[in-house]
Amino acid sequence: MRDSRQRPAAKRPEFRYREPHERRILLALSALLLAGCVNMSSPTKLAPGASAEAIRAQLGEPTGRYAMPGGTTRLEYARGPFGRETWMVDVDAGGTLVKATQVLNEATFATIKLGMTRDEVLRTIGRPSKLGYVGWQKQTVWNYRYASPFCQWFQVGLGADGIVQDTGFGPDPLCDDVDVPHLGLLRIR
């Protein structure tokens, strides 16, 4: 006879067989998530003089490499299309850390001048978050998200020759406060 104070036996969860394609998708998503975590480490934890191996262990593979004057190399660590940080890590010819700088800020944007080349812009602020094109001006527009209380992004207009024709700030479309479909979702205020 069962004691009335005993709890009934807990049900075991049912095993759900996953289709092979579901398992592959889950595995791929997990790998992407882990890869993103490696690259989210902060360069501020690295001391000047850190070795190339220490930099790679802390930050992963760079998103860009640029030759700089004096034999140094600039390693770009962009934080993705929705990221608001890009770190430029300068290493000397021996591969040791000279300095690390977060370049997506208004002070660095102010150094982007008319007449600069595409390569100079890349060496200064890295790859853009998003590319656009203005047909009537025949301009490619590079957009850079950055930490701003006004939810704006920095824009660089490049002519067909790869020369900076204009720069400016504009509203980041991700911050639109309009009730319109966005990526298949409706934003409600």
Same domain, 109 and 120: yes
Is residue 17 a part of any domain in this protein?
no
Domain holding 75: CATH number? Answer: 3.30.1450.10
pTM of the entire structure? Answer: 0.71
Same domain, 95 and 130: no
> What gap in Å lies between CA 30 and CA 20, rounded to an integer?
15
112-141 confidence digits (pLDDT tens): 999 999 999 999 999 999 999 988 888 999
Is residue 1 a part of any domain in this protein?
no
62-103 confidence digits (pLDDT tens): 999 999 988 999 999 998 767 889 999 999 999 999 999 999
Look up the domain containing 116 and give its range: 105-175
Same domain, 109 and 171: yes
Looking at the 3D structure of the chain, how many domains does it have? 2
Residue owning tokens 């509203």: 171
Is residue 159 a part of any domain in this protein?
yes
Is residue 79 a part of any domain in this protein?
yes
What percent of the chain has pLDDT above 90? 53
Is residue 148 a part of any domain in this protein?
yes
Domain boundary residue among 76, 102, 128?
102
